[in-house]
Amino acid sequence: MTQAVLVIHGGAGAISRAKATPAVTHEYQSALRETLERGSRILEEGGSALDAVAEAVRLLEECALFNAGHGAVFTSEGRHELDASIMDGKTLRSGAVANVTLLRNPVLAARAVMERSPHAFFAGPGADAFGRDAGLECVNPSFFSTDARRSQLLRVQATGEATIVLDHDGQSLAENPGTAASPLDEGRKLGTVGAVALDLHGNLAAATSTGGLTNKRPGRVGDTPLIGAGCYANNATCAVSATGTGEAFMRLVAAYDVSARMAYQGRSLDEAAGCVVFEKLPAIGGAGGLIAVDARGNISLPFNTEGMYRGYRRLGQPACVAIHRDR
């Protein structure tokens, strides 16, 4: 019997156990749990892994706690540029969008690219136009903005550093020292959301979505919308969704590397994912993690930061969620 399972992440980063009040921790855990419940219901009803990951990522995009969709970080010019991708492990079809500014749910735009165009990747105004023409919901860009993200940008810019800041690095700057704002140190958390799934029919799928990096230069694109870097799925091996310093994941073609190690070296999912996260990424200064599932339902959720918002749910079992590294 297929071990159908849904796995999700909401970004990786550094631990801040002291600052994480039970109430705030509970808020994040509840958001992860609810996403798992609603996404895995699709698998329970015999739906596809593709439907489950698209819905899980859509829900995370709608949640202001995470850096994707509503609640996305700001560019250096105070705007939002969103990236997303999706891949079907059964057919190897994929879709992606980059620098979207008007589409409410970038993951749905990525899916529309995959299913309703002969292409695999749209960027910028063309991506917004494609989504609009496909009938997807468009919003005023202010829909994506939250006060927390705006003060995050202002604080980052006030440091005078002409640098980009990984989502939760920026948030810690945005908070008063000593206040509790999130279970991970928002000063050192990477932000992106993602999902991978194995359905009852034995098919795999992956999806990833992000607002990118706080104070990023307009036009900058990370690993999230790049198939093979931040997202990959192949029924013959595994499905992977990544979060972390995008440039490093791009240089390593990280998500595909997990699959390739399984295919070419005969490694297990956990060995392949661990090699990428604990050996390859640190060797080039890459920080972050990934979630992965193979065709048998084995899962792996490695990260080389101190924590990663993460969780999984196997059918018929309760959802498991975690934020910090197990002690």
Q: Which two tokens stand for residue 208?
A: 């990833």
Rounded to a whole number of angstroms, the minimum distance from the CB of residue 222 to ligand ASP is 3
Please state, in angstroms and rounded to a whole number, the distance separating the CA atoms of residues 159 and 321.
35
Of 204, 192, 202, the C-alpha closest to 292 is 204
Rounded to a whole number of angstroms, the minimum distance from the CB of residue 260 to ligand ASP is 20
For ligand ASP, which is the closer residue by CB, 197 or 221?
Answer: 221
Residue from 39, 246, 289, 302 touching ligand ASP (CB under 6 A): that is 246
Active site residues: 192
Residue from 55, 81, 128, 167 touching ligand ASP (CB under 6 A): that is 167
Give the H/E segment covering residue 189.
strand 184-189
For ligand ASP, which is the closer residue by CB, 70 or 314?
Answer: 70
Instruction: Name the residue number minimizing CB distance to ligand ASP.
Output: 246
**Residues between 4 and 43 that touch ligand ASP (CB under 6 A):** 11
Rounded to a whole number of angstroms, the minimum distance from the CB of residue 170 to ligand ASP is 11
- Spatial neighbors of 17 by CB under 8 A, at least 6 apart, are 183, 324
Please state, in angstroms and rounded to a whole number, the distance separating the CA atoms of residues 109 and 11.
21
Rounded to a whole number of angstroms, the minimum distance from the CB of residue 250 to ligand ASP is 8
Residue from 50, 153, 190, 207 touching ligand ASP (CB under 6 A): that is 190
Please state, in angstroms and rounded to a whole number, the distance separating the CA atoms of residues 317 and 326.
21
Q: What are phi and psi of 157, to 5 degrees?
A: -70, -30
Residue from 40, 94, 241, 243 touching ligand ASP (CB under 6 A): that is 243
For ligand ASP, which is the closer residue by CB, 192 or 259?
Answer: 192
User: Sheet holding 288-294: strands in order across?
Assistant: 231-233, 238-244, 288-294, 299-300
For ligand ASP, which is the closer residue by CB, 47 or 246?
Answer: 246
Contact between residue 57 and residue 96 where contact means Cβ atoms under 8 Å apart: no
For ligand ASP, which is the closer residue by CB, 99 or 243?
Answer: 243
For ligand ASP, which is the closer residue by CB, 169 or 175?
Answer: 169
Asked if 191 interacts with ligand ASP (CB under 6 A), we say yes
- Spatial neighbors of 316 by CB under 8 A, at least 6 apart, are none
Rounded to a whole number of angstroms, the minimum distance from the CB of residue 233 to ligand ASP is 17
Q: Is 12 helix (H, G, I), strand (E, B) or coil?
A: strand
- For residues 199 to 228, the per-residue mask of contacts with ligand ASP, x marking binding by CB under 6 A and - elsewhere, is -----------x-xx--------xxx----
- Spatial neighbors of 225 by CB under 8 A, at least 6 apart, are 83, 84, 85, 96, 97, 98, 110, 121, 208, 231
Sites of contact with ligand ASP (CB under 6 A): 11, 166-167, 190-192, 210, 212-213, 222-224, 230, 243-244, 246
